């Protein structure tokens, strides 16, 4: 019989353990990603984000934290950030006309500029549309930060800074991606606009 109490306990315990592993294994890449983001924002560049499914939602969530604000004790200007997965007309036209695997790359081609930052989010690290988007970002001299999971997949070698959550559980990886996104946003806010 399914034990709801035990399930809740196990889920929260596992989530906590993965977060502690992120601290142990991902501290350095998080610091490197923060350096890239701080410099980009300081230089007036933009942050683009993309992923699929839950990672698309995470892209939108993190972009909003940058654009609006995360830390309510700070008064700061907007930080230019956009999730490339929120325009249904763009995604459906692209999927129909040039193939779904090319849609995000096309958005980077049209919106991205040299020294912008692309945060790609993929729990597997092998999403074909994200792989093509990263290739396009490199063509345009856009820095790529990867929020990945497991062993990082193909994206681990393609990202300038791969942040690989040490878990095979998609839920735990996604929870950690949001935490990492919050940490990076708050570092940018506090270093550039804190007192």
Kindly report the CATH number assigned to the domain that includes residue 180: 3.40.50.10490
Give me the numbers of helices (H) and strands (E) for the chain, helices first please: 7, 5
Answer yes or no: is 38 within a domain.
yes
Answer yes or no: is 116 within a domain.
yes
Are the CB atoms for 102 and 134 separated by under 8 Å?
Answer: no
Answer yes or no: is 20 within a domain.
no
Answer yes or no: is 99 within a domain.
yes
Answer yes or no: is 75 within a domain.
yes
What pLDDT digit, counting tens, does each position of 112-153 carry?
Answer: 999 999 999 999 999 999 999 999 999 999 999 999 999 999
Structure tokens at 23: 């601290």
Q: 102-130 burial, b for 16+ CB within 10 Å, e for fewer?
A: bbbbbbbeeebeebbbbbbbbbbbebebb
What pLDDT digit, counting tens, does each position of 34-77 carry?
Answer: 999 999 999 999 999 999 999 999 999 999 999 999 999 999 99
Are the CB atoms for 165 and 173 separated by under 8 Å?
Answer: yes
Answer yes or no: is 88 within a domain.
yes
Answer yes or no: is 181 within a domain.
yes
Domain range spanning residue 136? 26-193
- The total domain count for the chain is 1
pLDDT band at 1 (very low <50, low <70, confident <90, very high): confident
pTM of the model: 0.96
Answer yes or no: is 110 within a domain.
yes
């Amino acid at each position: 019989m399914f034990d709801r109490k035990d399930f809740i306990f196990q889920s929260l315990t596992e989530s906590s353990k993965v977060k502690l592993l992120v601290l142990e294994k991902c501290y350095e890449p998080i610091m490197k990603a923060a350096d890239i983001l701080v410099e980009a924002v300081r230089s007036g560049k933009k942050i683009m984000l993309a992923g699929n499914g839950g990672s698309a939602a995470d892209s939108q969530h993190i972009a909003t934290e940058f654009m609006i604000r995360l830390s309510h004790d700070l008064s700061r200007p907007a930080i230019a950030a956009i999730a490339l997965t929120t325009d249904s007309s763009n995604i459906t036209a692209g999927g129909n006309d040039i193939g779904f695997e090319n849609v995000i790359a096309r958005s980077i081609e049209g919106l991205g500029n040299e020294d912008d930052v692309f945060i790609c989010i993929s729990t597997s690290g092998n999403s074909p549309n994200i792989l093509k988007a990263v290739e396009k970002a490199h063509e345009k001299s856009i820095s790529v930060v990867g929020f990945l999971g497991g062993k990082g997949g193909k994206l681990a070698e393609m990202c300038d800074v791969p942040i690989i959550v040490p878990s095979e559980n998609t839920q735990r990886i996604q929870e950690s991606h949001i935490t990492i996104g919050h940490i990076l946003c708050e570092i940018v806010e506090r270093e550039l606009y804190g007192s």
